[in-house]
Amino acid sequence: MSIDPPSNLTTPAFTRPSSPAPQLPPSPLKSGKHKIAVIGSGSWGSALAKIAAENAWKRHDEFHSEVRMWVREKQVNGKKLTEVINRTHLNSRYLPDIPLPRNLVATPHLKDVVKDATLIVFVTPHQFLHTVIREISAPGILTPGARAITAIKGVEVNGTDISTFASLIEAQLSIPTSALSGANIALEVAKGQFCETTIGVPGRADALLWEAVFDSPDFRVATVDDVAGVSLSGALKNIVALAAGMVDGMGMGGNTKAAILRIGLQEMRGFCLEFFAGSKAETFSNESAGIADLITTCYGGRNRKCAEEFAKTGQPFDVIEKKLLNGQKLQGTLTSEEVNRFLLARRRTKGYPLFEKVYKIAFEGMPVNELVKGL
Ligand SMILES: NC(=O)c1ccc[n+]([C@@H]2O[C@H](COP(=O)([O-])OP(=O)(O)OC[C@H]3O[C@@H](n4cnc5c(N)ncnc54)[C@H](O)[C@@H]3O)[C@@H](O)[C@H]2O)c1
Ligand SMILES: O=P(O)(O)OC[C@H](O)CO
């Protein structure tokens, strides 16, 4: 792997402010306060909503203390999930045993969630984002001056075009959109175990606001001016995690897995630099969103776990997802399919041999022991 020059270790464009803390950009609401809404209540949605609600309650007067979280209504033991969450302050379906703050309110209707919100967090599994956008994009629903952030890990492919979800949200809702990604397994974050994350921002106001929403002593935020790099690193590492799981499932050891991580990181960075002008190599080598997320996902993530099972049993991924994830969603298989379709359209599959192998093994019946041959 090439080593980046020391200049890459310089401070990123937007860093944690030194004291005194700068004033937050003003809210467009009459109250003068920002209002946070979280769209998504899976394991990561609930963990991020917990942090945002704790910060709104304890750390920042500039925020309304109530934070709303969109919960797709579901019956749990004969009761509505929203009512269970609001009564017990536990998301028994997707993040059990983790107490949620009382100022976090589960809300079943999207329009009620985003009403008056000035800071909107998108964190659904990526296959459901379009339905959400359709529902809130009608005129008069979003607050003028609102901003968004996406913590979704995936990409959108249309023929020879590829977009990040940040650019898609920004284009379809006409609001500035940041991207959050890092070495963040939801349950560990929700338990308050120390970790870092990276937020790619389009400007300084976004950096200040999103850092205030999420930064805490246990969840350290670094902001960088590379929305595409942060988005792509989060999406592409899931393909590499599938490869890592296959290695585990074949009973290969640490050397092979380390090789997969190294090659995977090269392909992730190469892909981003080739197709996303202005993205930065340092996001991959220096930030939690790059190398650190790759490591945690390839050892502790759901994509790794399901790919291990795939290599051991040969069952299709959709069967394994249902069997092992209890309603949570795999993102790596979708991303693998989308990235392969894009590379085929651009006639560039040969530039990304690991991505291509993962796709062929997952979807075209290539034997799993072909994974490392010829890499
Ligand atoms: N879980 C993690 O550790 C983690 C960490 C970082 C990033 N992410 C990313 O965050 C995103 C959300 O992941 P998650 O772990 O919160 O979700 P999840 O995998 O726990 O999935 C459950 C969520 O999907 C929703 N859902 C299921 N069917 C739906 C439908 N038909 N329409 C709309 N919503 C539906 C559920 O309501 C629930 O909110 C993903 O892109 C993921 O890659 C996850
Ligand atoms: O469990 P995974 O494989 O979806 O990965 C979770 C997170 O993306 C790790 O940062």
CATH code, residues 27-228:
3.40.50.720
Counting from 1 in the atom list of ligand 2, the atom nearest the Cα of 331 is 4
Q: Which residue's entry shows tokens 């609930």? A: 46
Binding site membership of 125 for ligand 1 (Cβ less than 6 Å): yes
pLDDT at residue 265 above 50? yes
Which ligand 2 atom is at minimum distance from the Cα of 183?
10
251 contact partners, CB below 8 Å, separation of at least 6? none
| pLDDT, position 85 | 97
| Residue 21 confidence (pLDDT) | 67
Residue 11 has a pLDDT of 36
Peptide bond into 96 cis (omega under 30): no
Element containing residue 150 per DSSP (H, E): strand 147-150
Summarised one tens digit per residue, pLDDT across range 138-197 is: 999 999 999 999 999 999 999 999 999 999 999 999 999 999 999 999 999 999 999 999
Q: What is the pLDDT of residues 195-226, one digit of tens each?
A: 999 999 999 999 999 999 999 999 999 999 99
Contacts (Cβ under 8 Å, ≥6 apart) of 133: 168, 169, 172, 173
Of the candidate ranges 15-19, 89-93, 99-103, 201-205, the one whose mean pLDDT is the lowest: 15-19
* CA of 45, closest atom in ligand 1: 16
Which CATH number fits the domain 229-369, given the four candidates 3.90.1150.10, 1.10.1040.10, 1.10.600.10, 3.30.70.20? 1.10.1040.10
* 237 belongs to the catalytic site: yes
Q: Is 200:224 a contact under the CB 8 Å cutoff?
A: yes
Residues 6+ apart with CB under 8 A from 108: 70, 71, 72, 73, 80, 82
Strand 67-70 and strand 36-39: pairing? Answer: parallel
pTM of the model: 0.94
Q: How many angstroms separate the alpha carbon of residue 45 from the centre of ligand 1?
A: 7
Among the options 30, 33, 191, 237, which is catalytic? 237
The mean per-residue pLDDT over the stretch 124-141 comes to 94
Decide: helix, strand or coil at residue 137.
Answer: coil
User: Above pLDDT 70, what percent of the chain?
Assistant: 94
Largest Cα–Cα distance in the chain? Answer: 62
Residue ranges of the chain that CATH labels 1.10.1040.10: 229-369
Residue 235 Cα to ligand 1 midpoint, Å, equals: 14
Structure tokens at 210: 């999103």
* Closest C-alpha residue for ligand 2 atom 4: 302
What torsion do the CA atoms of 221, 271, 147, 100 make, to the nearest 10 degrees? -50
Any bridge partners for residue 95, and if so which?
91
Q: Calculate how far, in angstroms, residue 89's C-alpha sits from the geometric centre of ligand 1.
A: 19
Residues of the chain with CATH 3.40.50.720: 27-228
Do the beta carbons of residue 42 and residue 122 sit within 8 Å? no
What single-letter DSSP state applies at residue 16? P
Burial class (CB in 10 A: 0-12, 13-18, 19+), 84: buried
Residue 220 CB burial class (10 angstroms; 0-12, 13-18, ≥19)? middle
The predicted complex's ipTM stands at 0.98
